Amino acid sequence: MQESLLIPKIEKTSEKNFPLFGELANLEHEQIVFCSRPEAGLKAIIAIHNTTLGPALGGTRMWNYKSEADAVKDVLRLSRGMTYKAAISGLNLGGGKAVIIGDPQTDKNEQLFRAFGRFVDGLAGRYITAEDVGMTEKEMEWIFAETKYVTGIPKSLGGSGNPSPVTAYGVYMGIKAAAKQAFGSDSLNGRRIAIQGAGSVASHLARHLKSEHAELFISDIFSEKAERLAAEVGASVVTADEIYTLNVDIFSPCALGGVVNDDTIHHLNCHIIAGGANNILDDEKKHGELLREIGILYAPDYVINAGGIINIASEMEGYNEQQALEKTSRIYDTTIEIFKFAEENGVTTNVASNILAERRIAGVGRLGTIYSSKSHFSKRMGEMYLRDRA
């Protein structure tokens, strides 16, 4: 039979040519949304990982990615981390994240962020956004002009403002817990601590550490930021490469993720890794095992940097700063619990935290099979029984 010229021939394409869906399946994501508005300069990706415990909450990051593939990889890993972060922190929230591709120093404008807000609003509450790397309260206010599904808005508008101070406080609690585990005391007096990054979280963390008279070393890709923070807290400035090789007690990555990788891991000269960055381990399984083998204690990043999500979650209930800080202080106990579980079960600390988070997700998820009267009848004979998900 002659093949019709009117029907285009569809070539069979192997799955390896479409790695995106493979990654979605591998990381168990529910949904990924690509957002484009060329006239506003908007290129964004929203990833919803898991909504078992509640709507997906996670910040929007603006970064000048080297490639769109890097942006996709980042948003998938970050959103998955938010699921585990919310679960281990006892929050009734799922995990999501968004990235906007662009230079946060030069590409910001009102139209871009309001367009992004419209896309967030279109998800009708499945995803709730917040502030992340490259973003400020000003951009969150523009997003808020288009959607109610945003947190971390200025306090003048009834929000909680920049979550970085609370994030840093949680990292500080996690560092103290790690010191207790590794050294037998959570005092940081005289401890040598290297901070990678000099942004908002790193700056607030450095102030906490200064208050305990720790000896600080700071590095940032923007040298002037590192120098300003170092001058404030009495720290030493080191280069981007030197930060990995310093002989310190604690290495605290507070910039971008993937910094513990094949190139850096064997240069590390510290006892503890505990920082505010997300996805510090480039390969969770491989590098988690390697750290254990070389005797470096790793405080899982999504556990100790959860202060930000705790803070913005409290905003959704009616913000109370003291309550948010009190809840964030519990990161200390959660981190100790993870170290204990890892020891007792012979697993790495990142695996231990994953197991505990997954147990909560599975346990609460099973409750969804119990009918809870959130339903109604259509009141018409013969029509199907409808379940109300509102």
Catalytic center residues = 97
Residues 6+ apart with CB under 8 A from 266: 294
Choose among 69, 125, 59: nearest CA to 101: 69
Query: Tokens 């109370």 sit at which residue?
Result: 320
Report how far residue 272's alpha carbon sits from residue 280's, in angstroms, rounded to the nearest whole number.
Answer: 13
> What sign results for the dihedral spanned by CA atoms 37, 113, 66, 61?
negative
> What sign results for the dihedral spanned by CA atoms 51, 345, 274, 163?
positive
- Residue 318 φ/ψ region, left for φ over 0, alpha for ψ in the -120 to 50 degree band, beta for the rest: left
> What sign results for the dihedral spanned by CA atoms 31, 46, 25, 13?
positive
The DSSP code for 330 is T
Amino acid at 45: I
The first and second tokens of residue 325, run together, are: 């800080």
Q: 20-47: buried (b, 16+ CB within 10 Å) or exposed (e) per residue?
A: eeeebeeeebbbbbebebeeeebbbbbb
Report how far residue 124's alpha carbon sits from residue 120's, in angstroms, rounded to the nearest whole number.
Answer: 7
**Based on the number of CB atoms within 10 Å of its own CB, is 194 exposed (0-12), middle (13-18) or buried (19 or more)?**
buried
The DSSP code for 189 is T
